Structure 1
Amino acid sequence: MSAQPIGTTSPAAAQPMSSTEFKAAVDAVIGNIERVIEGKTAIVRLAFSVLLAEGHLLIEDVPGVGKTMLAKSMATTIHCSVRRIQFTPDLLPSDVTGVTIFNQDTHEFTFKPGAVFANLVVGDEINRASPKTQSALLECMEERQVTVDGNTYKLRAPFMVMATQNPIEMEGTYPLPEAQRDRFTARIAIGYPDAAAELKMLDVHGTTNPLNQLQPVVDEATIQRMIEYVRGIHVSDAIKQYAIALVNATRQAPELRLGASPRSVLQLLRTARAIAAFEGRDFVLPDDVQALSVPVLAHRLLPTSDAQLAHRTTDAIISDIVHRLPVAPGAPIRR
């Protein structure tokens, strides 16, 4: 059955965005988020680049470092529809995707959209829900649509899932299925703030919540234009070959029993385009691919038992592969 739209479709881009407009919008978004998230510019830039790469973000870290605050501040910064899902063990798949109910007045079945019908979906502590409920996001994240009772409903663009999770060793959590993790473009860890940032946090957050004063600085149409701008960033054949070689190296690595998927190389280059645009370039460098290799690839990999016993993390394995893999001849270089 053909897909049915829910809500208003995204406004079409009126005209292509210039590099000056793009830079101004990026600076406004990142500066606004940093009013809440202190001393984490690189993390904020990466999170925003995932949105412009039309991907999804997994924020994994210990409690109390600002995972949910980062997701909510980005959602507030962009003037578009936002829904928050608190993942709990009793959350049902229909709570996420929606459900068909019988309308007593019209004597017809009506679809009631779930929380996933928004531009930005903030999934808090996603690994506290059961694997069945987690799987409700699979179709949403990959195909940007929801199928309920044989009917398919399109999600409006832009669409992004920003999920937070605690480390799996913590009590009351379920591991994300491999298919779920592969749909997240990047995984980031916020980490603890440095002493100066933590001191500033006490001054700013100690008396009030800066999130309450945060105002949107860009709208849905602007984000769509920025996405189109990023799509136009050039990726040379040499960079494509380098990215494929990097992904193939993970599939052949003796320390890994599951390498990176074909989806991962697509998302790696999409995010590299966004990073290049942030730097004011209209082409991707090998440096962009290398900088993104750990956040984009590491969470998709499964180490062997021997690697786990040796305390070898997938982050370290990817870093070693990048260090020894030669860049394809003819790739552009930083000037």
Structure 2
Amino acid sequence: MAEYYGKVQKRMAYSREKLSSYLDPNCDKSDYHGIVQDLVNKVLSNETINLAEQEFVCSIIKNLRKENSFDLAYNIDDCKPCKDYNFRRRYMLYANDLNGHKSVVDFYGEVPNDKKNTDVKYLNKECLDWESYIKDKTNGGRLINYVAQETSAQIKIAKKNCEKLLIGSHYRDYLKKSLTLHGKYVYLLVKEFYQELGSDNQIIECNNEKILIDSFTYVHIMFRHYAEGIMSKNQLNKSYHFDENIGFKKIPNFLFDLLNCYKSLVISKQFNNQNIDFLINDKPYAIYLKPVIKNFKGKTQTKYLRVQTFFPIEEARELERIKTYITIKSDCGFDFLVKTSHSS
């Protein structure tokens, strides 16, 4: 049996930031082998590890070889602590072709047909299991509820669009599967972020208003504006993010930094409690906010302005709205678009 050699360290939760740092060739790797050994031992002992740890160590276990052999030491699909890693790996490979009709290429080359058939069956089962899991969870204020609500809403939109365009049941069923699996992927993505954050929300105070960024914000943006290959088949006239400087794994942090920058400027005194417009690489973007009442961990109910969505401004109506706005530059990394007294 293969073994990954290294000094075993006392168990702790390793952060995504720490594990991702090893991708930098200049980082200090003195503790790398000990961390890998620790996590490998946890997986092989069927102990639960967090999502960032799964992404890190399961990719290593998947490629371990038997001693003095090129044969794989482990079947990663049999490693229960890697179940979410296995789903995300397959989903990302087939996201734009869930039925496996087209050529699929992974790290080892083109995926053979028998392997594609196995993967497609796996994704079909994951879809049915996830659909069953979320069907009674559309009411509530937790991450799983937000994902269930958004998935249900998007499936209803898909059904209406298919009926309007006289699209047959096969493609309608495919869209439903695509949206359901995308929902599970978003759930794991958002869950991983908040595991790393150590909290389920971020709050910024601006002009005596509490601005809330939470899992609803993240889920909504990932469904509506960050999945062009999937969502553009379902939603007409939607804008999608494409700027590489906006990492989809850290959207809440991006918004948090943006809002902290905004509140430090004099222009924040003009905040209308509805939207903030800004530039990224000279392209206009907007965030929109909405009043909500939240009760966190037994505390009294509090009114917040929740960030509802964030997207590039492309629609003619929105472009018309900001056409006379002026640009206000800051020293904290963002340029904002502001209405003046001469703006219509």
In which range does the TM-score fall when normalised by the shorter chain?
A: under 0.3
Choose between structure 1 and 2 for higher RCO, CA contacts under 8 A separated by at least 6 residues: 1
What is the TM-score of this pair, normalised by structure 2? 0.25
